[in-house]
A and B are shown apart, each in its own frame.
Chain A
């Protein structure tokens, strides 16, 4: 087992690796004598994974298959963003029923991921060792019940529950039957009952917690493209940039250890995720770590209602896929899927059916600098709960390589 290290030296508190997060990450916090964080650094120490590089030269159909392996919790969002980036590059538009099914699969991914996130943060609110065993067990069962229904939706709609083979370039491989639709609708009603009970339970935990109400605040903007799916037209292509961590973190030492890039819009970090979507599309006003927790729980209702609407709207006899005639002329294509943790942006250039360029701007990449700032002003003891409230994923966001001005790779050790 890895041993977690918490060290404090000359008002610098380091925590590595952070616990109850996915992948490996580190906190380096410069504090005052009272332990209040004055400069926050939150970054990935997961080894670089190289997806953007090994995809180059591969057939375009390989991109969604490979990128679904970026994350075992949210493979569907990567499949969706990937096929939509390829479709944009080669000029293909899936039929309406194909897009409805794809959105349903991606929604189900969030419907499974949010309860899993709740399980992750239960102990932050005292719900773990020492808590009422029966109440804790019931809460766990509800979460697992919700995840089971959501996984079942992905199974039926995507062909499989994890690496869904039916999410393909041009749409979805097949439609669902009328019987499957009525079964899914019935399951969604069960999900609604579980989600309502879960929301009441979580709101009670939040209410009873002694965290400061203003914990984890920041003043940056939010970035969200769609309430439930994703919209490439909302991506600020001319106004975003991706920087090396060396240039952004408070010390070169931290920047060199970080394996994530820094994504900015208008030169500033942004927050992505459930609170960002709620602020942008639902007029939500709460801020900080607790604002995110509440937005995530409220989003469950938005998701299952939209899933029901999709099933109502779906024509189960309709075409779900168009043939992929174009092989691409190297145009930049963008695919965006609003994942559980926020906007998941894939970009690609396809030429003659092969990937010539690939880039992933995944939710946690957007959130690293925002979380770093949100840690400032709070005691360092709140740092990990703040991280887990915002975005406890790291593996997806580990995509940094270092190039010299001639674009030659100069830090092989990171690849």
Chain B
């Protein structure tokens, strides 16, 4: 596994917060993906939390964002999204740019895809994933492995 998120050719950036129920989907995938992709020197798997302020310093050619996103599916359903699906006003506030801005900048020099999992519950503070979301981890792992296959 590559040592740095800044130098990896392919970055699997797992978003989310394990303190918010199914919002911790990405975080829960981190150890599984690290095991699955063990030995891949051109790929890095990272638990980035919200972490979007890091996008400006990435130099990867492929970014796979993994997140728990309400896209209107059934709980645990997986869907591949593009940056065009990211709401322009997502996380917009008075003190920073919205998530879509650095993502759009990054897309100019990098292939960005989003692997989304439909959450069932993301209450604050709630620990652990629901069974539906937990059950999607093996399929998500394989989906992500295929996305970075050319870097393995």
Q: Which residues of A are at the interface with B, using a C-beta cutoff of 8 A?
A: 1-4, 17, 19-22, 50, 54, 65-66, 69, 72-73, 75, 116, 144, 147-148, 151-152, 155-156, 160-163, 165, 180
How many B residues have CB within 8 A of the partner chain?
A: 24
Which of B52-60, B78-86, B109-117, B139-147 lines the interface with chain A? B52-60
The minimal Cβ–Cβ distance linking A74 to chain B, given in whole angstroms, is 12
Contact A21 B49 (CB under 8 A): no
Q: Which of A147, A151, A155 has the most CB of B within 10 A?
A: A155
The answer to whether B49 and A69 touch across the interface, beta carbons within 8 angstroms, is yes
Residue of A nearest to B52 (CB): A72
Instruction: Evaluate whether A1 and B5 lie within 8 angstroms (CB atoms) in the complex, with A72-B49, A144-B56, A151-B54 already known.
Output: no
Which chain B residue shows the least CB distance to A163?
A: B47
A161 adjacent to B93 (CB under 8 Å) = no
Q: Are A151 and B3 in contact (CB under 8 A)?
A: no
Residue positions of B touching A, CB distance < 8 A: 3-7, 17-19, 46-51, 53-54, 56-57, 89, 92-95, 125
Residue from B4, B7, B19, B93 within 8 A of A69 (CB atoms): B19
User: Does A69 contact B17, Cβ atoms closer than 8 Å?
Assistant: yes
Residue pairs across A and B with CB atoms within 8 Å: the count is: 70
Whether the pair A162, B49 counts as a contact (CB closer than 8 A) is yes
- Decide: A162 and B48 in contact? CB cutoff 8 A: yes
Q: A17-B95, A155-B4 are in contact. Are A148 and B49 (CB under 8 A)?
A: no
Name B54's contact: one of A17, A50, A54, A162 (CB within 8 Å): A162
Partner of A147 from the list B18, B46, B57, B95 (CB cut-off 8 Å) is: B57
B46 and A161 within 8 A (CB): yes
Smallest Cβ-Cβ distance to A180: which chain B residue:
B3
Beyond contacts A161-B5, A162-B51, A163-B47: 10 other A-B pairs, Cβ-Cβ < 8 A, are A3-B94, A17-B95, A19-B95, A22-B95, A69-B18, A151-B6, A152-B4, A156-B3, A160-B5, A161-B46
Q: Contact between A1 and B94 (Cβ–Cβ < 8 Å)?
A: yes
Given contacts A19-B95, A66-B19, A144-B57, contact A156 B48 (CB under 8 A): no
